[in-house]
Amino acid sequence: MKRFLSGILLATSVLAAGDRLPHLFSTGAVAQTPSTDGLFYTYKGQRIPLSVREDAIAVSFKDVGRTRGGSTKPLFLQLQQVLQSGTRGGTATSVEVSPLGEDLAIVNLPRSRQSSSQTVTQQIEKQPYVQATLPVLSRGDRADLIVLPNEILVGFQPGLSDAQKQAILTSRQLELIRPLRFNRDRVLARSTVASGTAILTVANQLSQVKGVEFASPNFIQSLPDQTRDRAYRQAAMVSNALSRADLNDKTLNKRLLYAEGDRRGIAPQSALLGLQWNLYSPPLKQCRTLPSQLDSLKTCLVQKASASLTAAPRTDLHVTDAWKRSNSGRGVVVAVIDSLIQWDHPDLINNLYTVQSAHKCPGEVHGWDFTVERTVRTTDPCKIGDADTRISPAELAILKPIFQETFQLSDAALLRKYPDRVASIKAANPDKSPAQIARTLRYMIRTFSVASEFHGTWVSGVIAAQPHDGEGLAGVAPNAQILPVRAMGLNGRFVPSSYIEAIAYAADRGADVINISMGGRLPSQGEEAVIADVLKQHPALIIVASSGNEDQNRVSYPAALPGVVSVGATNLDGNRAPYSNYGSGLSVVAPGGDLSNELWGGIPTTGGTGLADFWRDLERPSGRWGPVLDAKGEYWWVEGTSFASPAIAGVVALMKGEDPHRRLTRDRLVGLLKSAASYDGLTVLDEEQVRYQSQVKRNQIPATVTAERYFFGSGLVNAENAVDRVQQAVGQGAK
C-alpha cells in the first residue's frame, strides 16, 4: 500500500518532537488580530483563547490523486512560483510557501505583504488545484501554527445508540465523516453550514449538548516555535566545527569497541559504543577532557577501553550492566508513535515487529502510517492510511532537492531563496556576515527541515538499535521489537484524529510499551480519553512520554496525563538538560543529551539521511555538515526529552523481558522503575537552587519536596537495579 503517486506530495529532531523545531520561521512577533469572545475552544470546561495570524495563510489542495497527473513539481512549489511572479520585481520580500503534510501548505507573508493578505488570498483561490484557504490561529502571543479545518472531533457518552448519536449531529447541522478507527463512541464530523472561524463556535456549542463527552476542532498543527533561539545557538556552535575530522574512519571505528579481551560482558558488539554515554558514561566522560578534536577523542576511547573507569561518576542508565543480567528485552514489543520511521535502517531492520492480529489490513506487516488523512465517509479502517511508515517516493521528492541545494547553491543564491529565514537569523544574530548567515542557514535546513523528519527513526534507535557485523549502534533494549506507528506528517504536521487512532492502534496490535516523544500541542480531551481507555483495557501496558523542552516547571501533554510515565532529560555532567521541563508530574529522568557545548554531549542514534537517494548525483561533502557521526548521516547526535523518553521505554522493555508471562501489573512495574532511580551522579545547579527556593517561598512547592525531586522526579534510573527488582518480584510470585 505504499503510495506511489504520479505527482509530488509533501516540525522534539535534534531538539526533539514534541520538541522539534518547525520549519516555518517567523521574522519576529506573530502578527495577529485581537482575540474575541468567539475565538476560543473548550478544554474540560475551560476556554483556551485563540488569535488569528495575519502573517500566514493555510491552503488546502484538491485530491492529489486526481489533480497532479504527470506533473513533477509539488503543488506548494507551483503555488509559490505563482505568488512570487506576482510580486514586484521578485524582490527578497517574496512569499515563501511551506508544505504541511500531503494536502496542505502554509503561505508565509513577510511584513511588507501582510496588508495585502486579502489580495494574496484571492490570487491563491484562483488556482485550479486549490481547494480552499483556511484560517491560521495561535494561542495568545505564542508562535503556534494552528490550521482550522471544517472538522470536529466528537466524543459521545457511552451507551448512546447510533440513532441517538446521529440525532445529535443532525440537530447541530453536522454530517458524519467517519468513526475514529480503533475507538468507540468517537467520530469525526463536519458542519454543513459553517466554515472558517465559525467552526470554533459550532464545536463549543456542541460540547455543551447532553450526551456529548467532548467536542473540539480537529486542529491541524505544526509544533510551536519554542526552541528557535536554542537552534540558532546550536547552529552557530556546530557550524564552527563542521570542518573538523569526522568519525568515518572505519578501521578506527571498529576499535571503539571495548578492548577485544575485555568487552565487560556487553552483548552487542557495537562499533560506536564508546560514544554512547547514555548506556555507559565513564569512557566519554574521561576522554572529553582532551582538546575538542574528534580524532583525539577516538584515540582516547581506544586507550581507555581496557582501563579502570570506575572512578568517573556515572551519569548513564547502567545499561551495559543490565545486559549482563537480562535477555536485553527479548519478546517485548515497543510501539513508537512518531514521524518517519525508516525501519529498513541496518540497525533497525532485524528488530522489527511483524503484526500478528487476525484483523490486520491487507498489506499491513510492520505497523501503520496514520498521517495519510482522507476525509472520506467510510467505516473500513483499511481504506484510510498506509501500511508503510518509511519515507514515500513522493516525500523523498520533496525533501531531496531541499537537502541537495544546501550543498549546491552559492551563499548568495541560498540567501535569496529563503528571505524569511535569513531575516530570522539576522534578527537573532545581527553581527553575522552573509557567509556566516548562509552557513547557519545550511545547517538549519539540513538538520531541521530534512533530517528531523526522521525523528521517529532517531527515537527507534535509542530504544532498540542492534549493531550489524560489529558496525553501528546499540539501543537500550537491543533484543526488543519496534512496532512503527506514524502519527506526524512532514513539517511537523499533527492532527488529533490521526494521533488518537494511532494510540488505540498500538494497544490493539499488542504493544507492551508505547513511547510518545511528542508534546507542546493544544491540550485535547480526545487524547486524554483514548489514553485512559487503553490503559484500562490493557492493565500491563506502559506508556512513556517526554516531559517537554520548554525549560518550564510543568510537564507537557501527554506526559502530564494520569498513568503516563513522564521523562525529563539530563546531560553528560549529570545536570538537568537546560531545555528539560520539570516540576510536579515528572516521573524520572534519563540522558537526553546537550549539544550546547560539544557534539558528543548529544545522544548518538540512527538517522534517515543515510539513504542512497539523498546522495544520488551529489558529491560527498568534505568535512562535517551537521551533527552527524558519518559522512551521510546514517547516525546523528541528537538532544531532547524526545530521547530521554525512549531510553526509559527501553529500560521498561528490559524489565518486561524478565517477566515473559506478564505477571506484573503496570502499577507494580512503574513502582519498581521509580524505586530503581536515585540522585546518584545528579547535580542541582546553583541557579536552579535559587529558582527552587523562590518557588518554595511563594508556596508554589511544598516544603517536603526537595530540589532534587523538583528537577529530577524520582531520579536517574539504574537499569541494572530495575532488572534485578523485576527478577526478584517474578521469583516471589508478586503481582
> Which CATH number goes with the domain that contains 666?
3.40.50.200
| 39: in domain | no
Bridge partners (DSSP) of residue 97 are: 107
Taking residue 29's Cβ as centre, other Cβ atoms within 10 Å add up to 9
| SS3 of residue 419 by DSSP | helix
| 507: in domain | yes
By the 10 Å C-beta count (0-12 exposed, 13-18 middle, 19+ buried), 306 is classed as middle
Q: Which triple of cell numbers denotes residue 199?
A: 467552526
| SS3 of residue 568 by DSSP | strand
Rounded to whole angstroms, how far apart are CA atoms 456 and 519? Answer: 14
Same-domain status, 634 and 664: yes
Distances (CA, A) of 235 to 227, 228, 452, 548, 627: 12, 10, 14, 21, 9
Q: Which amino acid does the sequence have at 41?
A: Y
Same-domain status, 646 and 709: yes
Same-domain status, 519 and 638: yes
Q: Which amino acid does the sequence have at 658?
A: E
Same-domain status, 671 and 539: yes
Question: Of 319, 662, 245, 262, which Cα lies nearest the Cα of 479?
Answer: 319
Rounded to whole angstroms, how far apart are CA atoms 67 and 61? Answer: 9
Same-domain status, 519 and 463: yes
| 680: in domain | yes
Q: Look up the pTM and report it.
A: 0.90
Same-domain status, 460 and 600: yes
Yes or no: say if 585 and 560 are a contact pair by the CB < 8 Å rule: yes
pLDDT in tens, 29-49: 445 554 445 689 888 888 999
Task: Identify the CATH number of the domain in which residue 156 sits.
Answer: 3.30.70
Distances (CA, A) of 472 to 87, 281, 432, 593: 49, 18, 37, 19
Yes or no: say if 132 and 149 are a contact pair by the CB < 8 Å rule: no
How many angstroms from the chain centroid is the CA of residue 212?
A: 31
Helices vs strands, H then E, count in the chain: 24, 28
Yes or no: say if 147 and 134 are a contact pair by the CB < 8 Å rule: yes
Same-domain status, 371 and 284: no
The secondary element (H helix, E strand) that includes residue 711 is helix 707-712
Bridge partners (DSSP) of residue 544 are: 515, 565
Same-domain status, 522 and 630: yes
Yes or no: say if 282 and 301 are a contact pair by the CB < 8 Å rule: no
Q: How far apart, in Å, do the first and last CA atoms of the chain sit?
A: 42
pLDDT in tens, 122-138: 999 999 999 999 999 98
- The pLDDT of residue 80 is 86
Same-domain status, 671 and 524: yes
Yes or no: say if 534 and 541 are a contact pair by the CB < 8 Å rule: yes
Rounded to whole angstroms, how far apart are CA atoms 612 and 406? Answer: 17
Domain C-terminal end among 184, 218, 252:
218
Consecutive sets of 10 residues in the chain, 735 residues long: mean pLDDT of each? 30 38 41 59 89 90 54 78 66 69 84 72 92 89 83 96 96 95 94 95 95 95 57 56 43 37 46 86 79 62 57 88 94 97 96 92 93 67 87 89 94 90 83 90 91 97 90 93 96 92 96 91 88 96 96 92 97 96 96 87 95 90 81 93 98 97 96 98 96 92 93 98 97 70
- The pLDDT of residue 18 is 38
| 547: in domain | yes
- The pLDDT of residue 36 is 47
Q: Which triple of cell numbers denotes residue 715?
A: 531520579
Domain C-terminal end among 218, 236, 252:
218
Same-domain status, 368 and 493: yes
| 412: in domain | no
Distances (CA, A) of 274 to 240, 302, 339, 480: 24, 8, 28, 22
| 192: in domain | yes
Question: Of 614, 613, 607, 588, which Cα lies nearest the Cα of 669?
Answer: 588
Sole residue written with cell 538538520: 447
In the chain, % helix, strand, coil (3-state, to 5) comes to: 35, 15, 50
Q: What is the domain count for the chain?
A: 3
| 51: in domain | no
| 206: in domain | yes
Domain C-terminal end among 218, 243, 267:
218
Write out the residue range of the structural domain in which residue 688 sits. 333-380+455-609+621-731
Same-domain status, 657 and 698: yes
Yes or no: say if 340 and 608 are a contact pair by the CB < 8 Å rule: yes
Rounded to whole angstroms, how far apart are CA atoms 184 and 187? Answer: 8
Taking residue 317's Cβ as centre, other Cβ atoms within 10 Å add up to 30
Same-domain status, 163 and 286: no
Put residue 472 in one of left, alpha, beta given phi > 0 → left and psi -120 to 50 → alpha: left
CA trace torsion 607, 613, 619, 622 (10° rounding)? 0
Percentage of the residues of the chain whose pLDDT score is greater than 90: 58
Rounded to whole angstroms, how far apart are CA atoms 369 and 244? Answer: 39
